[in-house]
Amino acid sequence: MKMITVIGSMNMDLVVDTSRVPENGETILGNSFYTFPGGKGANQAVAAARLGGDVHMIACVGNDGFGTELTRNLHEEGVDTANVSYSSEKSTGIANIILSEKDNRIIVVPGANYELTPQMIEGLRDIIKMSNVVVMQLEILPETVKAVLKFCDELTIPVVMDPAPAKYFEVDMISSIRYITPNQYECEQLFGLDLDEALEMYPNQLIVTLGKDGVRYFDGEKHIHVEAIQTNAVDTTGAGDTFNGALAYAISHQYALYDAVKFANAASSLSVEKLGAQSGMPTKEEVEARLAR
C-alpha cells in the first residue's frame, strides 16, 4: 500500500502577456492569452503521478467549465479524482497572471478551494486512512489544513507540507508535520531565524529548497546540502511543486530521507527545462537516468 493523498488547491491559471499594464480606466490590447491547469495541490498531485505514484486528490472545484477541465486533466494524468467535489456556491479557483515587461502581477481568487471544509474531511476519513503519505499546501482553508493534520497525527500518517503561501502557516501546525519544505524566503517568514538556526531547530523535518542552489536540511549531527543539478533552466515555475510531489513519492516508497531529497532534487531539475508548471514534470525513468549521470 503506497497511496499518496494530496489535499489541496486546483486552479486555472489565466495568463495574459502584455507590453504594459493599463492605467486606471484605460483599455489596451494585450499580446497573448493562455490557460494552464495549476494550483499547488493539483501540480503536486501531477508530479507524484508522473513518477508512477498511486495518487488520490481531495479538492473542491466549481460547478463550471474550468472545474470540469481541471478534473479531466488530473484524471488523464492518472490521478484518482473520485473525491474532487463540485461546489454550487463558488466558481473554480483561478490565478489571474499578468506578465508585462517590468513585472508579473498575480491575483488569486480561491473560490471553490475555500469550500473544502473540515466537515468534508471528516467524511473522507476512510480514504485518508488508506494513505501512507498526505501532501498539503496552504491554498485551502487553514481550518481544513488543521483538521487533516489532527487526523493524520492520530493515525501517524506522515504529512509533507509545502507551507505556501507562508502567511497562512501557524507555528503550532509544525508538531503534526513530518516534512516541511519552504523555500528560503518562506523559511525566514515562517520561523524568523537565519537559515542555519532554523535547520538546527527542526532536524530531519525542515527541508529548505534554495532554487538553483539546491536543498538543505540538518540531520541532527551535521548540515546536509544537496547541490542542484546544473541544467539549462527555461521556466522555474512549478519547481517547488515537482520537488514536493517527488519527495512524497519517494517517502511513500520508503526511501531514506537523504535519498528522497536527492530524488526530488533531480526531479525538479528536470521540471525547469520546459515552459509551464506541469509540462516539465518527469517520469521515474527520467529521474533515475539523471541521477545515474
Which residues are tagged catalytic?
A: 241
Q: Which does 268 bind (CB under 5 to 8 A by kind): ligand ATP, Mg ion, none?
A: ligand ATP
C-alpha to C-alpha distance for 21 and 60, rounded to whole angstroms: 32
Exposure string for 230-253, b = 16+ CB within 10 A, e = fewer: eeeeeeebbbbbbbbbbbbbbbbb
Q: Which is nearer to Mg ion, 37 or 62 (CB)?
A: 37
Please, what is the minimum distance in Å from the beta carbon of residue 24 to Mg ion?
Answer: 32
Strands of the chain (E only): list them: 3-7, 11-17, 32-38, 54-62, 80-87, 93-99, 104-109, 131-136, 159-161, 179-180, 208-209, 215-218, 223-226
Q: Which does 231 bind (CB under 5 to 8 A by kind): Mg ion, ligand ATP, none?
A: ligand ATP
Query: Rounded to the nearest 5 degrees, what angle is found at the Cα of 135, between the Cα atoms of 1 and 271?
Result: 100
C-alpha to C-alpha distance for 259 and 188, rounded to whole angstroms: 25
Please, what is the minimum distance in Å from the beta carbon of residue 155 to ligand ATP?
Answer: 28
Stretch that binds ligand ATP, among 12-20, 49-57, 97-105, 228-236 (CB under 6 A): 228-236
Q: Which is nearer to ligand ATP, 49 or 239 (CB)?
A: 239
Q: Is 239 in the site for ligand ATP (CB under 6 A)?
A: yes
Please, what is the minimum distance in Å from the beta carbon of residue 267 to ligand ATP?
Answer: 8
Size of the site for ligand ATP (CB under 6 A): 22
State the Rg of the chain over Cα: 19
Q: Which does 84 bind (CB under 5 to 8 A by kind): ligand ATP, Mg ion, none?
A: none
SS3 78: coil
Strand partners, 206: 180
Residue type, 72: R
Q: Is 164 in the site for Mg ion (CB under 5 A)?
A: yes
Q: Which is nearer to Mg ion, 78 or 211 (CB)?
A: 211
Q: Which is nearer to ligand ATP, 155 or 275 (CB)?
A: 275
Site residues for ligand ATP per CB under 6 A: 183, 209-212, 214-215, 228-229, 231, 233, 236-241, 243, 265, 268-269, 272
